[in-house]
Amino acid sequence: MNAVVALCHFCEVHGPKIIFYTQVFHDIDRYAKQHQATTPNGDNHDNESKASSNSSSSKVDSCDACGSIPVGQRGLVSFDKSADIVYVSRHDPDSPELYTALRHACIRSLSCEICPGREGPVIFGDSFKGYVFSYTFSLKDVEARGQQKWYSIIIVSKDKIFLINSWNFFTSHIQKVTSDLQSKALKVYESEKKQVKRNPYRTIALDLGPLSRKRSGTGRATRSLTDILKDSDIFTRLHSYFTWMLKEGARHFTERSLEGPSLNFDNNFIDIDKKYTIDAHFDSILQLSQTMNREDFLTLCQHVILGNQIIIRSSVDSLVSSAIDILQSLLPSDCCKVIYKNTEYQDSWKCNFLGLNLCTEIPQHVLASDLYALLDIIPLAHQVDNSAKSGSICYLRIATLICNRY
Amino acid sequence: MLSKIAATLSFSHKEEQDVILPSPPFDEKQIRILIFQEDHHGQKSLLLDTGKNGRRFPSDGNQGNQINSDIKMFKEIMFGSVAVKIDKTTVKVHEIRIPPQLLVTKVFTLDRIDNKADDTSSKSSYARSSLDELRVSSRPLTSKSMSTSILRQGLINIPARTGRRDSGFGESSSLKGSYLFYPQSPATFHGSYQRRLFRNKSTSLEFGFSEDNSQIQEAENSPNCSNTRRRKLKLAVGIIFNLWDDSKENACKIKSFKRFFFSHFMVLESHINRLKEIINRNFDDKSNFYAIITEAVTKFKNTVCQLYSAIRMPEPVWLNLLAMNNQRDEICSRFVDTLVQMVERFNEPKYNFFISKLITAVLRHHLAWVSTVAPDEKSPYPSYYDKRFSVSLNELARSLPYNPVWAQLGDLYGSVGSDTRICRTIVVGKNAPVVRNILYLLSYFIRCSEIYEDDEITIEWLNEIDDERTLIDAECKEKKAPLLKLRAYSENCIHEIVKNPVKEKPLNAADAAIELAEKMIAANSTIVEDTEFEKITGRARCQSAGGDTSSSKDSQDNSSLEGAESDEDVDALYDGFKEIPLPKCSETHFHHSFNFGRSFLADYNDEYMPDFVLHGTPAMNFKEKMIDDLKHSVECSALDEEIAESVCIVADTDTWSCEMYIANNNDARNEVARKEISASPLVSAMLNSVKNLRKLFPPYFCMMHLEDCLSEIFLKSTVLSQYITANASIKEEQISRHLGFDKADLPLLYAVAKAGPQMAF
């Protein structure tokens, strides 16, 4: 799902803040490499210095309540290797544009847009800053102003239609999660309230010891989500949950559509290697026909259709295999036995399309027979620029055909 | 073919009918429209309220006294509690629970409408022959239309972003970068696949959050800067859908309407935009403003009600073939027999070869059929009789997801080529059974995918973790031994340990994990355990050594050898991150979703209706409305894309004429052209051969033959496309002579070629 899921919090000190977000990246390696590119020296020390330089402003005015990922950790990741997707959770995004968009969404979600009944879903946005599904909720906290804190889970996307189509999906699942969070917070709240009653002169902060830190100035602790829920794994869970949302959100609607039968052979999936995107190759039967004279081409086709063995030799493998692919499209799939590349001649009962190197010897009995066609693709002046695109095919005007004419 | 489809249906679904048709009773009075204005002092005043007590305008009297709490609430909801600077039109959706209401809001600053006629540079594409267009479009990556549309969608923003070094993803968002990781070169796939791929790219957030700069500039450069008074004025239009009282007997109605609302939002929004535009255009015309708005509002309400309660086609052939395994033979024989019957009766000279013409037009414009006959290279099934669920699309949806609901509407409208063209078909006639039969036939040729919605998935995340100490795994919520779950959790720890190599004495990570697991079984209290657990993991982490990976690898997930190797690289790259196992998704339970496929193929209705892809209506009295709708659809389409051309095929069974109306985005005059349709010989031959075959063969055989003919049309179009690409300067006459194609077939073949796979160059 092309979206970012984030948890926002209305901090008593800092106002609306993003505290945790999860994003999808397609291509696991690429994400990491790019990520490293932003931190040129790969050591661990660099992370902290980078974090402080990159988001120096946010670092200064953040507190426990605004924090999520522990210091020294860059974030949380989950890999979906089968689809080459990585889900990354961090405190706030590197990309300045995304940061702006999320921050904008966060502020609007917690302090501008009104949800009837205060808790619940709303969608807002424009094509400039993106569209936001926002679900606002509050958690009980003994120490908070008014004994509750406001949070929102936002889903930011450029795809307005998708957000609106998925309204029911988002609403029902986020509702479940927030009510779970709320009941958890309530439990903690109630037990803490009892303690307060028992020891009215002691603050909870002292009870919790090192976990909570007093804020200078206000004299009150701003507690993190971990403390409010008494759950040290909460962000791991949120990561898993947000990941699940992103994954399942994409699968929520599925389409099934029919397609025509395959024109391919041997029940094999097409090998990506055979998609000669860079190497010289033939794109079409038309192109192949242009590399030889018309009569030769027709003779070659005749041999193919009769089921004779077609031997193609060239110093460029991609030319051989693309020519074989094109020629075999003339035959029904079950009539093709192909060896794209071999070091020596193979008999016709083994294959009717055979790719060889130019220097490979062909036995005399083959050359003498009517039942074979040999096509040599010789680059003009022996110059084939492998790096050139398919356009270089026009250099290949010579294709020698050795066979009996009909 | 058909029996094979049954075999490939690997997922279960209930063939429920209840989701297909919305329940009809929705009254115009249930829609209420509020318009507020906010002047430059921030003063908000009500301009219009079509509430229960009739229409209310500020001129009716003292407005201040009339404002009740209801309006005050809506004013707050629509504008928001704190003013947000608005650059563009903001859209908001609210759900109000008591009383049940849905609210769509558009907030925008008044703006002068772009006058498209001013754009002298735009050239009517009628001037270009379709041959030229094909030439252009057969180079998808260099084609002007495609590349501009990519840029417009913010897909590739090279110039804006190359200079950015601080952005994590800036450098990658070049053209090359974003194409490098396509699962396969997009050029080998047909148009509807490409469209989905581009949609994914255009909505991706991986390259940061750049938006279409072109549009922003457009807005800034528009010549309204002089008009400062207007610029300051902010308007909010709110559409309130009053649902029924929240009682038990109404629950079903509410659910059904909500479903309609959220799934059809893109179409609803296009009508709201239309309303917005009328308000924008006429705002200064004080004397007529309310009259014009009242009319527009009435029309809007009427359209929405029609959209909700129109009679839908009871048995769309293609969709039912896709979905209903058990009735496949019946559907097939009924379809083939109807086709033969209609061809025998109405494909005669005295009926102007009506059926051939109509099907030619439909095949030429509703192009989604192309991908259903085009061979898919990735399909593992070579047998010619098989039709299979698309493998490529499944793969795409898994790795680069897009919104299928959006994709389906595009398919239905026939927007699958390299530039967005949309088409609707209307069958007119007093003889209802004949019109119904024709609609029925067309529902085989107007194709789209079937959408399923997984509405049973749940994730019981917090409770599960509390009780069982395991990570989220929806599959695990079935009964499994607790130890197994613990194992899953401890393996997670191992990952962590392995990935934080600290050079010290080696320690068998697997042993540590088992020890942990045992401790966890023994422990009861969750909160206490948390900290203890942290301590243990912390200690284990300190003791674990980076060198000893062999033992820990054994305990890792049953990943293959290759996987383990690449893991190493990935691990190195993700240094500093903590890996969390991927939450598994439950087996899905698919249900028919309330989707456009079933909703936008309408039956014979009393009146002409906008939006519907196919419908029948008794009389040809809607020309003005239709032309208006065509112009509108080009201006602001429901598809969230710029529309190049909007077509309406009108087939009149009273006069046996078949013509099309075309509105073109580039047409400076903003006029709608009318064109006669001529039958393509390929289509005529196809219909005749089916008719003749039916005398000798069973229906399924005839249907297979029909599919073969369609496939042949597609293959011919591929030949044409390749030939044109290779012979850039060839003339139209030469083409038909060299390739042996009938000239009358060429328009159809061009259109199909554009929807087919684009040649890679």
Check residue A198 and report its DSSP letter: H
Closest to B700 in 3D by CA, of B337, B362, B436, B448: B337
Q: How far is CA A133 from CA A255, A258, A351, B205, B595, in A?
A: 24, 33, 59, 15, 22
Instruction: Count Cβ atoms below 10 Å from residue A218 Cβ, excluding itself.
Output: 11
Instruction: Measure B430 CA to nearest chain A CA, in Å.
Output: 35
CA-nearest residue to A116 within chain B is: B96
* Residue from A254, A265, A273 to probe the interface with B (highest B Cβ count within 10 Å): A254
Long-range CB pairs of B633-636, under 8 A, 24+ apart, other chains included: B633/B270, B633/B422, B633/B663, B634/B663, B634/B664, B634/B665, B635/B277, B636/B270, B636/B273, B636/B274, B636/B277
Q: At what angle do helices B391-399 and B191-202 cross, to 10 degrees?
A: 0
CB contact under 8 A, B322 and A260: no
User: Could you give the CA distance from residue B581 to residue B493 in angstroms, rounded to a whole number?
Assistant: 10
pLDDT at B214 over 60: no
Strand-strand pairing, A372-377 and A399-403? antiparallel
Least CB-CB distance to B203: which of A157, A180, A181?
A157
Burial of B615 (0-12, 13-18, 19+ CB in 10 A): buried
In this prediction, residue B91 carries a pLDDT of 92
Residue B748 and residue A109: Cα distance in Å, rounded? 51
Average pLDDT over every residue of B506-534: 43
Does A219 touch chain B if contact means CB atoms closer than 8 Å? no
Inter-chain residue contact B471 with A157, CB threshold 8 Å? no
Query: Is residue A175 classed as helix, strand or coil in its secondary structure?
Result: helix
Interface size A-B, in CB pairs within 8 Å, comes to 399
Angle between helix B699-726 and helix B746-755 axes, rounded to 10 deg: 90
So what's the ipTM on this one? 0.72
**What ranges do the domains of chain B cover?**
28-114+222-309, 317-452+592-724+731-755, 461-573
For residue A389, pLDDT over 90 is answered with no
User: Is A80 strand, coil or helix?
Assistant: strand
Residue located via tokens 């309230």 = A193
CB-nearest to A240 from B403, B449, B472 is: B472
Sort out which chain B residues have CB atoms less than 8 A from A115's CB and list them.
Answer: 94
- Closest Cβ opposite residue A261 in set B203, B263, B384: B384
The pLDDT of A355-377, averaged and rounded, is 85
Q: Which of A28-32, B598-602, B721-725 has the lowest mean pLDDT?
A: A28-32
A187 three-class SS:
helix
Q: Is residue A393 predicted with pLDDT exceeding 60?
A: no
**pLDDT higher than 50, residue B746:** yes
Tokens of B532: 């203890």
Look at B462 and A257 and tell me if their CB atoms are within 8 Å. Answer: no
CA closest to A45 among chain B residues = B576
Model confidence pLDDT, tens digit, residues A192-240? 888 877 765 544 444 444 444 444 334 455 788 888 888 888 888 899 8
Please report residues of A whose CB lies closer than 8 A to that of B585: 244, 247-248, 251
Q: Which chain A positions have a beta carbon within 8 Å of B382's beta carbon?
A: 261-267, 333
Q: What is the DSSP string of B123-192?
A: --TTSS-HHHHHHHHTSTTT-HHHHHHHHHTTS--HHHHTT-SSSTTGGGGSHHHHHHT-SS-GGGS-HH
| A108: DSSP letter | I
Give the residue carrying structure tokens 């929807």.
B755
Give the pLDDT confidence score for residue B359 in this predicted structure: 96
Asked if A147 has any chain B CB less than 8 Å from its own CB, the reply is: no
Distance in angstroms (rounded) separating the CA atoms of residues A321 and A354: 9
Instruction: Identify the band that residue B362 occupies on the pLDDT scale cut at 50, 70 and 90.
Output: very high
Q: Nearest CA to CA, how far is A331 from chain B (Å)? A: 13
Q: To the nearest whole angstrom, how far is the Cα of A365 from the nearest Cα of chain B? A: 35
pLDDT band at B22 (very low <50, low <70, confident <90, very high): very low
Distances (CA, A) of B698 to A183, B330, B384, B560: 64, 12, 18, 50
What is the 3-state composition of chain A as percent helix, strand, coil, each rounded to the nearest 5? 40, 25, 35
Chain A residues inside the 8 Å CB shell of B375: 259-264
What DSSP line would sit under A4-35, residue for residue? EEEEEEEETTTEEEEEEEEEEEESHHHHHHHH
CA B232 distance to own-chain centroid: 35
- Any B CB within 8 A of A287 CB: yes
| Among the listed residues A102, A80, A85, A105, the one whose alpha carbon sits nearest the alpha carbon of residue A93 | A102
Most confident of A38-52, A86-100, A173-187, B581-595: A173-187
Q: Which of A128, A237, A263 sits opposite B465 (nearest CB)?
A: A237
pLDDT, tens digit, 9 for 90 and up, residues B387-440: 556 667 777 777 777 888 888 888 899 888 767 889 999 999 999 999 999 999
Residue of B nearest to A162 (CA): B403
Are A256 and B570 within 8 A, CB to CB?
A: no
The alpha carbon dihedral of B333, B335, B338, B341 has a sign of negative
Residue B693 one-letter amino acid: L
Verify whether the Cβ–Cβ distance B212 to A127 is below 8 Å. yes
Please give the average per-residue pLDDT across A103-123, as a whole number. 88
| DSSP 8-state class, residue A109 | I
* Buried/exposed B83-119: b ≥16 CB within 10 Å, e otherwise: ebeeebbbbbbbbbeeebbbbbbbbbbbbeeeeeeee
Task: With CB atoms and an 8 Å threshold, state whether B761 touches A38.
Answer: no
Does B400 sit within 8 Å of A26, measured CB to CB?
Answer: yes
Closest Cα in chain B, distance from residue A82 (Å): 9
The predicted-structure confidence for B448-476, as pLDDT tens digits, reads as follows: 888 887 766 666 554 444 433 333 333 33
Q: Which residues of B touch A160 (CB under 8 A)?
A: 91, 640
- A284 at the B interface (CB within 8 A)? yes
Instruction: Please indicate whether, in this complex, the C-beta atoms of B322 and A164 are within 8 angstroms of each other.
Output: no
Q: Which amino acid type is present at position B144? A: K
- The reply to whether A52 touches chain B by the CB within 8 Å rule is no
CB A75 within 8 Å of CB A89: yes
Bridge partners of residue B657, in order along the sequence: B652
| Lowest-pLDDT choice from B21-25, B575-579, B719-723 | B21-25
Q: Which amino acid is at A103?
A: R
For residue B747 the two structure tokens come to 């328009």
Query: With bands split at pLDDT 50, 70 and 90, how would you rate the model's confidence at B680?
Result: very high
Joined together, the tokens standing for residue B331 give 């559907």
List, in order, residues 6 or more apart from B343 with CB less than 8 Å away: B355, B687, B688, B690, B691
* End-to-end Cα distance, chain A: 59
DSSP code of B640?
S
Q: Which residues of A touch B203 (CB under 8 A)?
A: 2, 157-159, 162
Q: Please say whether the beta carbons of B323 and B450 come within 8 A.
A: yes
Q: What angle do CA B530, B568, B543 make, to 5 degrees?
A: 40
Please check whether residue A253 touches B, CB under 8 A: yes
Chain B residues within an 8 Å CB radius of A275? 184-185, 188
State the pLDDT at residue B233. 81
Please report the pLDDT score of residue B439 as a whole number.
96
Distance between CA B212 and CA B215 in Å, rounded? 6
Mark yes or no for CB contact B531/A232 under 8 Å. Answer: yes
Helices (H), B447-576: 461-468, 482-499, 509-522, 526-543, 550-555, 561-573
Q: How far is A290 from chain B (nearest CA, A)?
A: 10
Q: How many CB atoms lie within 10 A of CB A167?
A: 20
CB contact under 8 A, A284 and B722: yes
Structure tokens at B426: 């209307």
Task: At B545, list the tokens.
Answer: 């050594």
Say if the Cβ atoms of B205 and A4 lie within 8 Å. yes
Q: Which helix (H) or strand (E) holds B6?
A: helix B2-8
Instruction: Answer whether B89 sits within 8 Å of A122, measured CB to CB.
Output: no
Q: CB–CB of A255 and B404 under 8 A?
A: yes
Alpha carbons within 13 A on the beta-carbon side of B514: 7
pLDDT on residue B718: 86
Structural tokens at position B583: 């939450």
With a cut of 60, say whether residue B14 has pLDDT above it: no
C-alpha pair distances (Å), B684 with each of B24, B344, B425 = 39, 12, 19
Q: Does A118 touch chain B (CB under 8 A)?
A: no
Give the closest-approach CA distance of B172 to chain A in angstroms.
8
Question: Does the beta-carbon distance from B185 to A237 stay under 8 Å?
Answer: no
- Spacing of C-alpha A398 from chain mean position: 44
Domains of chain A: 4-251 (no CATH), 276-403 (3.40.50.12430)
Could you give the CA distance from residue A302 to residue A328 in angstroms, rounded to a whole number?
A: 12
Buried b / exposed e along B469-508 (16+ C-beta atoms within 10 A):
bbbbbbebbeeeeeeebbbbbbbbbbbbbbbbbeeeeebb
Chain A residues lying within 8 Å of B463, measured CB to CB: 180
- Show the tokens assigned to B664: 């073109």
| Contact state of A126 with B208 under an 8 Å Cβ cutoff | no
Phi, psi angles (nearest 5°) of residue B584: -85, 150
C-alpha to C-alpha distance for B662 and B631, rounded to whole angstroms = 9
Question: For residue B169, what pLDDT band results from cuts at 50, 70 and 90?
Answer: very low
| Beta carbons of A254 and B726 less than 8 Å apart | no
> Taking CA atoms, what residue in B is nearest to A53?
B166
Report the candidate in B71, B98, B100, B112 with the shortest Cα–Cα distance to residue B238: B71
CB-CB neighbours of A102 under 10 Å: 26
Contacts of A212 in chain B (CB under 8 A): none
How many CB atoms neighbour CB B372 within 10 A?
A: 24
